[in-house]
Amino acid sequence: MNEGSHFGGALALGSLLALSGLSTSLAQSNEVAAIPRVVTTTESRAASCDRACLERFVDRYFAAVIADDPSAAPLARNVRFTENGQVLPLGEGLWKSMKATGTYRLAVADPDAGQIALITTVVEDHADPAAGTPALMALRLKVADGRITEIEQVLERNAQTAQRVEALGAPRAAFSTPIPADQRMSRAALIETANKYFTGMQRNDGKGDYPFHPRCDRIENGGRSTNVPTPPGETRPDPKTANGYSAQWTCLEQFESGLLYFVSRIRDRRYVAVDQERGVVAAFAFFDHMAGSTRTFTRPDGREHTAGPAQPWTWEILELFKIEDGRIAEIEAFLTRPPYGMLSGWSTWEDGMSDKIQDVTGYRER
C-alpha cells in the first residue's frame, strides 16, 4: 500500500427520475428526501427475489446496457439512476460505451432487502472499434415487485486497475461459503462488526476495538494490501517502530500501529447489502484525507509522526466484508478518487458528511 491507496462541496443532489413508460425523459430536484424507498419486512419476505433471481437481474441489466436499450431492462417507472454520484437520464453514461462484461464479479445478494451490490469488470469502447477498454465497476441494484427501482454505479476508468482485478481470476471462496446455521449473526450485528473497521481507521490511534480474524486479508482494486511476503533480502518492518504502515503487516498490525491517523473522516457509511447466510456485508463510504495539520499526529508510543496525502483527497469506496466468528476475515474494496468532499447522490448533505451507521437496505426485521 501507499498513501494513494485505500488509506491514503456540496454536490447538487437530484431526486426523482420520472420516466414515462421506459423513455428517457427526466425530472430532477434537489430534494433527496423525495427519493422513493421500498421497505421490506418479514411479512413480505416470501415474495422476495432470492439470490439467483437478484443475480439474473444483474445479467439482464448489463444486457440492456450493452444494447444501449433501456426498454430491454425490467425497470420501474420511477427508477432512479446515478453514475459516479450524478443523476443521469437512463441511456447515458456507461449505457453509451459498454461493449461487454468482464469475467470478474464479486456480488453480495440481500434477498430480504431486494438488493444486490457487486464489484465487477466491464469493457468499454476504444478509439479503435475493434478494441475495448477495460474498467472496474461498483454496482448496486434495488429490486421490488419484479422491477429495478434504483441503479447506483461507480466506474474506475483505469485500464491497468481493471486488468489487475481480472487477473485475480475469481473471487476468494470465503465470500461464497455459507456460515453454519447455528453460527450466523443478526443483520445488525454484522453491520456493527463491519462498522468497527471504519471507526477503527478514522483518526486511527492504535487503541481501538479491531475485530480482525487471525487470517484477515484485504484486497484493494485487485492488489493485496495486507500479508504481502517480505521481498528477498529485505527485513520485515516492525509495526511498533516503522515510520510508515506496510502491506507486509496483518490487518491487526496495521490498525494497532496507529499510522493510519491521517484518514481524517470516513463518512456516508451506507450499508447496502447484508448476506446473513454467507456472513458478508457490503457498504459504500467516502474516505477523506483533509491534509494540512491533520497529517501530523502522535503515535501510540508517544512519537510525533507526519503522513498522508499533502493535498485534500477523497476516496469513494465499495467495501465488502466477510465476517466469521464475529470477526472480519476477508475484505475486498473498490476505490476511485472523486473530487474532494464528493457526495454519493443518494444521501442528504447531512448524512453524506456524517460518520454514523446508515442501514439503507430498506429491510426491517420484526
Does residue 187 have a pLDDT over 70?
yes
Residue 244 confidence (pLDDT): 87
This prediction has a pTM of 0.88
- pLDDT at position 47 over 80: no
pLDDT tier at 24, thresholds 50, 70, 90: very low
Residue 349 DSSP class: H
Domain that holds residue 225: 32-364
In a domain, 243, yes or no: yes
CA gap 193, 154 in Å, rounded: 25
Domain count for the chain = 1
Q: Does the pLDDT of residue 359 top 50, yes or no?
A: yes
Whole-angstrom CA distances from 253 to 214, 240, 277, 306 are 11, 9, 29, 19
What is the Cα–Cα distance from 104 to 156, expressed in whole angstroms?
Answer: 15
d(CA 322, CA 273): 12
Residue 126, domain member (yes or no): yes
Whether 165 shows a pLDDT value over 80: the answer reads yes
The per-residue pLDDT for range 309-352, each reduced to its tens digit, is 999 999 999 999 999 999 999 999 999 999 999 999 999 999 99
The Cα 205–Cα 226 span in angstroms is: 19
CB 262 within 8 A of CB 309: yes
What ranges in the chain are assigned the alpha helix state H?
51-66, 94-97, 159-166, 187-201, 251-256, 349-352
Q: Is residue 26 part of a domain?
A: no
Beta-ladder partners of 177: none
Rounded to whole angstroms, the Cα distance separating 157 from 162 reads: 8
Over pLDDT 90: what percentage of the chain?
A: 80
Domain containing 193 — which CATH number? 3.10.450.50
Q: Which residues pair with 82 in a beta bridge?
A: 87, 152
- Closest by alpha carbon to 211, among 189, 201, 196? 196
Supply angle C-alpha 359, 140, 63, rounded to 5.
Answer: 160
- pLDDT of residue 18 exceeding 60, the answer is no
Strands of 175-294, DSSP E: 212-220, 223-224, 265-275, 280-289
Q: What's residue 46's pLDDT?
A: 37
Q: Note whether residue 25 is domain-resident.
A: no
Q: How confident is the model at residue 301 (pLDDT cuts 50, 70, 90)?
A: confident
Query: For residue 320, what are the CA distances in angstroms to 234, 274, 292, 317, 335?
Result: 32, 10, 30, 10, 12
Q: Is the pLDDT reported for residue 6 higher than 80?
A: no
Question: Do you know the residue count of the chain?
Answer: 366
What's residue 20's pLDDT? 33
Point out the least confidently predicted range of 79-88, 167-176, 273-282, 296-305: 296-305
Predicted confidence at residue 328, as pLDDT, reads: 98
Q: What is the DSSP letter of 167?
A: T
Distance CA 94, CA 124 (A): 8
Virtual torsion, Cα 212, 242, 225, 1, nearest 10 deg: 140
Residue reference for cell 473522516: 265
Q: Is residue 324 part of a domain?
A: yes
4 belongs to a structural domain: no
Residue 32 near residue 348 (C-beta atoms within 8 A): yes
User: What is the average pLDDT value for the chain, to the nearest integer?
Assistant: 89
Residue 9 lies in a domain: no
pLDDT of 15 strictly over 90: no
Band (pLDDT 50/70/90 cuts) for residue 5 is: low
Look at residue 38 and tell me whether its pLDDT is greater than 90: no
Q: Is the pLDDT of residue 3 over 60?
A: no
The pLDDT of residue 364: 72
Residue 165 CA to residue 105 CA, distance in Å, equals 10
Query: Which residues is 138 bridged to in the sheet?
Result: 119, 154
Task: Tell which residue, 171, 153, 148, has the closest CA to residue 98.
Answer: 153
Q: Is residue 209 part of a domain?
A: yes
